Structure formats: structure tokens, C-alpha cells
Amino acid sequence: MVMNDDDKPIARRRFFVAGLRELFKPLAGGLANIERVTSELARLEEVSRPAPSPRSVPLRIWLRPPGAIEEQAFRETCSRCGICVSVCPAHCIKLDSTGQLGAGAPYIEPQAMPCVVCESLACMQNCPSGALLPTPLADIDMGTAEWHEHLCIRTHGQECTACIDQCPLGSAAIELREGRVHVIEEGCIGCGVCEHYCPTRPASITVTPKVARTS
């Protein structure tokens, strides 16, 4: 069998473990604590396993401003000029110059400040790079809100409709059905206003960014 270079270190470790296993066999019968030998062999076997690839660790998903194109293209297209940040009347769009937050591209944290879907839709109208495209209000898709019933104070007998009352899309996006909060997926644009005004912490309603729905 042909062994590539990546397999050689693993093969050597397994050979070493197998050798120790054979070495311990004649000793095990005379040891008072055979379990210790077994435990040591198991530990060495675990060490011989390759570490998981860093690519298996999921990337954090960020809520992008309205009109954002597909995530990877957004990251590559955005010039990080900061114009969307400066023209946003709600001051909800953030840009981290260190690149640690938002992968260095504009992002929104709804609990700090949501997109209020301003009348001018200023961010997308002023984006010079094409990372944010002018989009009609009804076609904006930043994400989708999700109601967490077990966290909601309505579940515990309190009458709260903050998420419904504050939604800029109104009954087109969210409503009360038989006493339960119901998000209308086709109408919700993922602005995060509901999450921002929810009185519970953690919030009983949160926005799932659109990239997370397809990843």
C-alpha cells in the first residue's frame, strides 16, 4: 500500500502504540491493577488520532445590512469604506477596523440597535461597491425572526406584544395567533426590531441571518 506523507506520522504513532500493546501483554497478568494498563493503552490510542481539521469549526454568522449580496461575495466585494455606517440614520451598522467582528465587513447587532428600515434605505442607496444593492422594501431579506416560546413571558401568563407592536412591517411579518406569537416567514425581512424590543434576556425572539438558513 502506498502511503502519502500526511499518513506517515499517524502510521508511526499507531505502530508505536501497537508495539507497546505487545510489550504490556506479558506484564499485564502479573500487575495488580490491570485496569491501569488498559487505561494507558486507551490514552495512547487517543493521542494517535489526528486532530480535527480547523475547517470543521463553523464560522460565526453575522447579520448584514439590508440589500447585502450573498455572504462570500459580500465579504469580497465590500470595500470597507464605511459609507453605509455614516449614512445610517439609526446608527445600527457597525464596522470593526480590526476585522475581529463581522469578519471586517459591515454588520448589525439587533440587541444593541436594529435596522429600522428607514424610508430612504440610505445604506444600500449609497453603497459605492455593489456589496449592498438597492432593493424594494418587500424584497429585503436580511434573515428571519424566530420565536422561542419557552423564553417568552407570554408563556408564563404575562400579556406582552412588544415584538408585534414594534415591527415596522406589522401584520405582514408577525402577528398573534391564538395567544401565540407567529412569525410570517414570507413577510419577515429580518431587521431585528422585534429582538431589540423583546424584554427578556436572552431574547424570546431572535433573527437568524439569511446565510445561516442555507449553510
pLDDT by position in tens, the chain (length 215): 445 555 455 555 555 555 555 655 555 455 445 556 555 555 555 544 444 443 333 457 899 999 999 999 999 999 999 999 999 999 999 999 999 999 999 999 999 999 999 999 999 999 999 999 999 999 999 999 999 999 999 999 999 999 999 999 999 999 999 999 999 999 999 999 999 999 999 999 999 999 876 55
How many other C-beta atoms are found inside a 10 Å radius of the C-beta of residue 114? 24
Rounded to whole angstroms, how far apart are CA atoms 18 and 29?
18
For the entire predicted model, the pTM comes to 0.71
Q: Are 74 and 105 in contact (CB under 8 A)?
A: yes
Tell me what pLDDT residue 212 has. Answer: 76
